[in-house]
Amino acid sequence: MATTRNTVSSIIGSDIPRIDGPLKVTGVAKYAADHNLPGMLYAVPVCSTIANGFIKTLDTAAAEKMPGVKAIFRRENIGRFYRAAPNVDLTFHIDEKRPPFEDDTIRYHGQYVALAVATTLEQATAAADAVKVTYYEEKPDVRADLGVCDNLKVESERGDVKTAFAKAPVQIDQTYTTPPEAHAVIEAHASVAAWDGDTVTLYETSQAVAMQRIAISEMLGVPRENVRVITKFLGSGFGGKLWLWGHSLLTAAAARNLGQPVKLVITRKMMFATSGHRASTKQRIRLGATKDGKLNCLWHEYLNHTAILDEYKENCGEASGIIYSTPNARIANALVQCNVGSPTSMRGPGAVPGLYALESAMDELALKLNIDPVELRLRNDTLIDEQENVPFSSRHYKECLTVGAEKFGWAQRNPKVGSMKRDGLTLGWGMAGGSWIAYRFACELTIDLKHDGTARVTCGTQDIGTGTYTVLAQMISAKTGVSVGKVDVVLGDSMYPEGPTSGGSMATASLVPAVEDAMTKIVKKLCEIAVATKGTPFTGQKADDLHFTDGRIHLKDQDSATGTPYEEILKTANVNAASARGKSIAVSGVQPDKPKRSMHSFAAQFVEVTWQPETARLRVSRVVSVIDAGRIINKRTGTNQIQGAVVMGVGMALFERIAYDQRSGAPINSNLADYVLTTHADAPKIEVEFVEYPDLFLNQLGARGIGEIGLAGTAAAITAAVYHATGVRVRDLPVKIEDLIGSAASG
């Protein structure tokens, strides 16, 4: 019997380690590809070797006769897939709308054209290699330069940017580009499909089992109740595993056709072509300001590449409309369709490349005005979302800036380029700000409080590795006093109550109200049981007079510590568990019972680089990241998220770029040796600080969610620091050594 109870104040905000950690480090945790079923076959896709054209011949005869081969699937024998119509049913989304094998047209390099299925992986791989495909080839368009920003569609507008910009005493007009980037998650995309009659179970690596189920049901033409998607653990996602990709459909169809389970793990190389990437962008920013640094025009135009048949928009203006006060603003965009696989969401989609451009322009404006870059941002802060003309629910950007400056030691900065030195190295100090939207998804979950003092929470969401298992255990523990170790968190199965997508940094914020709702119902049940059961201290009293504090039932005037533990009540009543289903509604700034608010998280990133001109060696040495994301439920997992985002920001600024071969259209650095990522050795010293203002407008704990916000502004802070060290303003990511060689400050 637990006699000491945890309380909200000790559990919420603590730094307890991930409860799933031991399962992962001991190898017990099963990822999608770890599932092996009796009679399971292996599938390997055949990928097109051109990026634009048509299949002329597809010869499977030799492959079909190879040892262990069960089938070679192609358009003619895979069976029917259906184009999804997500606009009809907004409960799911899909980026690559065209199902695999739909026709013989090739629109990007690596497109699946056939699928070899065999008894072993080696046999399937050999058979896939033996499929002979010839093509009518046309010149692919995989342009690195997206061209001129014209024919743009206006996304949002206030005032008159044209006039304001023309009249502005100080102007900045610059163009910035960001390359295509890979999610480069360590766990490859994988599917294991098994049919039982008309019902299919898929072990997937999905950031949204609930949505994946709907998408598979639609595209496979199977009723929803006949599809089950299971993802117990993910080796990360970063947005690349939010939506359905073609390999899952191929796996399900192959398993159906052959009447045996099928496993398909796509290769690292395929992951650069067929399962999404961050779109390349080209962004023109025009800022107009008064001489004392007040913005009067913010004009953000951008292009992003997308696939030939898809309309993925990299939403670069996500932060531009709200982050600064300005009477005149316009955000406009256009898509450039190229011979690439569909881009998709990648950590801080839109906002992250958008803020690289906007915050770089702000740094250039500060320099032109001769105003400190922190001061320039402070002068343009606002507590009103001027795009929607509503107040922010909770905005502490100013404090992020001032706390960051203090922690970093910004006051010691000498603004003169190349003037700061340490240990023979030139130092560069730069900073930038960021924001990321905070919404809630609709979701449901169930909670069971059991008579043996344990609890269970069950939800059809998933943990991408960031801590959903742990924060749910904390939430239940805080409400019930059951220790975290006695809370069984059951996630990752579309059979469970529909849970939130692990995306947009919104899962945690969505779960909070569902936990509250379920707990309210459970407490009511417990109180009713307490008064209706003979032999409890409350027999015959009114249920409404009872209270529930830290897991104890007590009367209003009674010291809660002398109340009766709920499990005693359940035992006396001979009831196994008090259970309830809780719901959370979707919230996007509008809540039924509240005035409209604009909900965003904010950040300030301060960066130090070291520059050694003699050897052209650039390092990011130190980062201070200050985050305003509401209440932080777990300091450890929260800090880890921001540290990870900063490391990703170093990659974005200095290393990462998918390069397409202009002749073949192939992503040529499609492996983790040539697609350069930040390694541990490249990682700077990172200090993370949360300015913690619970956003009670969003949910009862005031948690907005973290994940994306740590990457917002990071690359711009790094390039600002590079400028401060070298005098070179890099407007095309990633920073290349050749950009810096011969710079004024290079000696």
Residues assigned a catalytic role: 708
Q: Measured from the CB of residue 493, what is the shortest distance to ligand MOS in angstroms?
A: 20
Q: Measured from the CB of residue 503, what is the shortest distance to ligand MOS in angstroms?
A: 3
Give the residue nearest to ligand MOS (CB).
239
Nearer residue to ligand MOS within complex by CB, 100 or 504: 504
Nearer residue to ligand MOS within complex by CB, 93 or 232: 93
Nearer residue to ligand MOS within complex by CB, 484 or 706: 706
Give the residue carrying structure tokens 């531009």.
Answer: 320
Contact 545, 555 (CB under 8 A): yes
Nearer residue to ligand MOS within complex by CB, 45 or 350: 350
Nearer residue to ligand MOS within complex by CB, 232 or 450: 232
Q: How far is it, in rounded angstroms, from Cα 438 to Cα 600? A: 5
Q: Measured from the CB of residue 278, what is the shortest distance to ligand MOS in angstroms?
A: 9
Contact 258, 71 (CB under 8 A): yes
Contact 259, 194 (CB under 8 A): no
Q: Measured from the CB of residue 705, what is the shortest distance to ligand MOS in angstroms?
A: 10
Q: Measured from the CB of residue 268, what is the shortest distance to ligand MOS in angstroms?
A: 20
Task: Record the tokens describing residue 284, joined without a space.
Answer: 């023109």
Q: Rg of the Cα trace of the chain?
A: 28
Nearer residue to ligand MOS within complex by CB, 6 or 466: 466
Nearer residue to ligand MOS within complex by CB, 502 or 564: 502
Strands laid side by side in the 455-459 sheet: 487-491, 455-459, 443-450, 577-584
Q: How far is it, in rounded angstroms, from Cα 636 to Cα 477? A: 17
Task: Record the tokens describing residue 681, joined without a space.
Answer: 């050795």
Nearer residue to ligand MOS within complex by CB, 71 or 346: 346
Contact 397, 362 (CB under 8 A): no
Geometric angle at alpha carbon 191, from 348 and 200, rounded to 5°: 115
Q: Cα dist. 568→166, 523, 544 in Å? A: 75, 14, 19
Q: Measured from the CB of residue 245, what is the shortest distance to ligand MOS in angstroms?
A: 14
Q: How far is it, in rounded angstroms, from Cα 306 to Cα 609? A: 34
Q: How far is it, in rounded angstroms, from Cα 615 to Cα 617? A: 5
Kindly write down the DSSP assignment for every residue of 672-713, as one continuous string.
TTTS----GGGPPEEEEEE-----TTT-TT-B---SSGGGTT
Contact 47, 270 (CB under 8 A): yes
Q: Measured from the CB of residue 305, what is the shortest distance to ligand MOS in angstroms?
A: 18
Nearer residue to ligand MOS within complex by CB, 178 or 726: 178
Instruction: Name every residue whose Cβ is closer than 8 Å to that of residue 569 and which is 6 or more positions away in sequence.
Output: 526, 529, 530, 533, 536, 538, 553
Geometric angle at alpha carbon 210, from 697 and 584, rounded to 5°: 25
Instruction: Name every residue whose Cβ is closer than 8 Å to that of residue 365 and which is 6 or more positions away in sequence.
Output: 170, 172, 287, 289, 293, 376
Which residues, in sequence order, are bridge partners of residue 45?
A: 115
Task: Record the tokens describing residue 246, joined without a space.
Answer: 């073609």
Dihedral angle sign, alpha carbons of residues 560, 562, 566, 572: negative
Nearer residue to ligand MOS within complex by CB, 345 or 601: 345
Kindly report the length of the chain. 747
Q: Measured from the CB of residue 279, what is the shortest distance to ligand MOS in angstroms?
A: 12
Please state whether the peptide bond connecting residue 22 to the residue before it is cis, i.e. omega within 30 degrees of 0.
Answer: no
Nearer residue to ligand MOS within complex by CB, 6 or 502: 502
Q: Measured from the CB of residue 647, what is the shortest distance to ligand MOS in angstroms?
A: 16
Nearer residue to ligand MOS within complex by CB, 345 or 470: 345
| Chain positions contacting ligand MOS, by CB under 6 A | 207, 237-239, 242, 345-347, 349, 503-504
Contact 312, 344 (CB under 8 A): yes
Which residues, in sequence order, are bridge partners of residue 533?
A: none
Q: How far is it, in rounded angstroms, from Cα 185 to Cα 205? A: 11
Instruction: Name every residue whose Cβ is closer than 8 Å to that of residue 406 and which is 6 or more positions away in sequence.
Output: none
Backbone φ and ψ of 294, nearest 5°: -100, 125
Q: Measured from the CB of residue 554, what is the shortest distance to ligand MOS in angstroms?
A: 43
List, in sequence order, every beta strand (DSSP E) within 376-524: 384-385, 390-391, 420-422, 425-437, 443-450, 455-459, 487-491
Q: How far is it, in rounded angstroms, from Cα 89 to Cα 86? A: 5
Q: Measured from the CB of residue 371, what is the shortest distance to ligand MOS in angstroms?
A: 34
Which residues, in sequence order, are bridge partners of residue 117?
A: 43, 71
CA-nearest of 176, 177, 181 to 649 is: 181
Q: Measured from the CB of residue 238, what is the shortest distance to ligand MOS in angstroms?
A: 6
